[in-house]
Amino acid sequence: MDDGIEPRLVEVLDVPRLGAVVRGNAGSLPWRLVDESGAGVNHVNLWLADLFACDNSPATLRAYAYDLLSWSRFLGALQVSWTQATRGEVRDWVRWYRCRANPQRRRGSSADTHRPTPGSVNERTGKAYLESSYARSSMNRRLSSLSGFYEFALESDLGPLINPVPKSRDDLTRLDVHRQHFDNPRPQKRAPYRQKLVERAPRALSDDLYEEVFASLRTNRDRAIVATAISSGLRASELLSMRRGMLHAADQTADVIPKGGNGSRVMVRISPTAYLWIARYLAERPVGPPEEPVWLTLRGTPRPLSYWAMRQILERSNALLGSNVTMHDFRHTFCMRLAQDENMTIAEMQELMRHASIASTTRYLRLTVAELVDKLDQHWNRPPSPQPTPAKGYAAEDLQVLFGRAF
């Protein structure tokens, strides 16, 4: 509990890794939270079941379950019951995250001197490497998860008397937020403990760098994946959702399961070049059933390609080229190319990018750094305007009086 005297020394707090998030029944509760004995944490699982009944995706449930697992571990280290938690515990939870290094950022050997400095900028892409700490957006999402859980617990009378996550004053007073978004937009004040977010403009790969990345790929499978990603803007999860029976070679399209689609499918167009690489890759494999994943591992017994294995495709190229290209960079490049097409409307861009909100699409309408540099060069190199020459018949003295200068 918050003693009101001095803050806890969260930097030395030992939080044991007790409990786990485990798979549940895909039809009723895809993910569950269990304690150190393997028993279900009922108050959290009730909330997850409520979210699933509200048609939230299994991926959302999994993320929220891990957020509540972190909260449960933190309270366990403080020896505070979840029903007795206050604003002070939430504040210290955020402080604890702010002073910790994210273990997901530590890859490779600790003696590896070739690893880039966290937060530094890569010279090839102009893109910063991830910081060693937790992302601010991740901390904000955890606070949102925690607030939603306590709201559910209060409504369901599960024990707590308050929601320990403070809200912004704007959340309590702005009843006309739906109108102000369009009629008179103004920034909403951050709620306490929410972290400041810096909106970074998306960066596209240059044509030369993309050609270098593509040339560094070693297999037809890898070339097919990258060519498909940059020609259709597919997210990594959408690429991994592709099945043999979802490819339509006649019209060079494919069905994919979009982000947050809950199993629904959308059709995407794939470039002829990308389809050629897909055909070359599939020709190297035995014919499989329609439900077989398109992308399989190449060594040992064929298995569906995982997200981490897909990342390794580019890790090898990055090590060779000294870059930090990610799979999502191909989507950014696709979107930026659409934005630079004068014949493309923003509504068409939104559909092709599969954005739920057009606000996400407008991020790609900004001028890039390269475009601004070109415009500035044109400004500097523009020749001076010629001086006007008065027609014959005007007296120089009269022009001096009229315009205040001589011609």
Whether residue 119 sits in one domain with residue 166: yes
The contacts of residue 325 (CB under 8 Å, 6+ apart) are: 125, 205, 209, 213, 314, 317, 318
Tens of pLDDT along 322-340?
Answer: 999 999 999 999 999 999 8
Tens of pLDDT along 22-40?
Answer: 999 878 899 999 999 999 9
Please count the structural domains in the chain: 2
Average pLDDT value for the chain = 88
Position 266 in a domain? yes
Whether residue 294 sits in one domain with residue 149: no
The pLDDT score that the predictor gives to residue 176 is 45
Which of 224, 231, 228, 262 minimizes the C-alpha distance to 352?
231
Q: pTM for this structure?
A: 0.77
Whether residue 337 sits in one domain with residue 233: yes
Tokens at 281, concatenated: 């890759």
Q: Domain with 262 in it: what CATH number?
A: 1.10.443.10
The pLDDT score that the predictor gives to residue 312 is 92
| Mean pLDDT for the stretch of residues 361-390 | 83
Whether residue 239 sits in one domain with residue 161: no
Whether residue 151 sits in one domain with residue 17: yes
Whether residue 111 sits in one domain with residue 33: yes
Whether residue 287 sits in one domain with residue 142: no
Whether residue 142 sits in one domain with residue 212: no
Tens of pLDDT along 247-287?
Answer: 999 999 999 998 876 668 899 999 999 999 999 999 999 98
Position 404 in a domain? no
Judge contact between 77 and 15, C-beta under 8 A. yes
Position 2 in a domain? no
Position 190 in a domain? no
Position 4 in a domain? no
Cα–chain center distance at 318: 20
Tokens at 125, concatenated: 């892409």
Tens of pLDDT along 156-175?
Answer: 999 999 999 998 765 544 44
Q: Domain with 78 in it: what CATH number?
A: 1.10.150.130
Percent share of the chain, pLDDT over 90: 60
Judge contact between 257 and 377, C-beta under 8 A. no
Tens of pLDDT along 52-64?
Answer: 999 898 989 999 9
CA torsion sign, 104 to 110 to 115 to 116?
positive
58 burial (CB, 10 Å; 0-12 / 13-18 / 19+) is: middle
Whether residue 221 sits in one domain with residue 139: no
Q: In angstroms, how far is the first alpha carbon of the chain from the final one?
A: 83
Whether residue 357 sits in one domain with residue 277: yes
Position 65 in a domain? yes
In the block, which residue shows the tokens 């070693």? 218
Whether residue 155 sits in one domain with residue 219: no
Helix or strand or coil: residue 257?
A: coil
Boundary-marking domain end, from 362, 377, 396: 362
Position 186 in a domain? no
| Mean pLDDT for the stretch of residues 215-238 | 96
Tens of pLDDT along 57-88?
Answer: 898 999 999 999 999 999 999 999 999 999 99
Position 397 in a domain? no
How does residue 387 score in pLDDT terms, banded at 50, 70 and 90? confident
- Whole domain around residue 304: which residue ranges? 207-362
> 247 has which bridge partners?
254
| Mean pLDDT for the stretch of residues 216-227 | 97
Whether residue 164 sits in one domain with residue 295: no
How does residue 186 score in pLDDT terms, banded at 50, 70 and 90? low
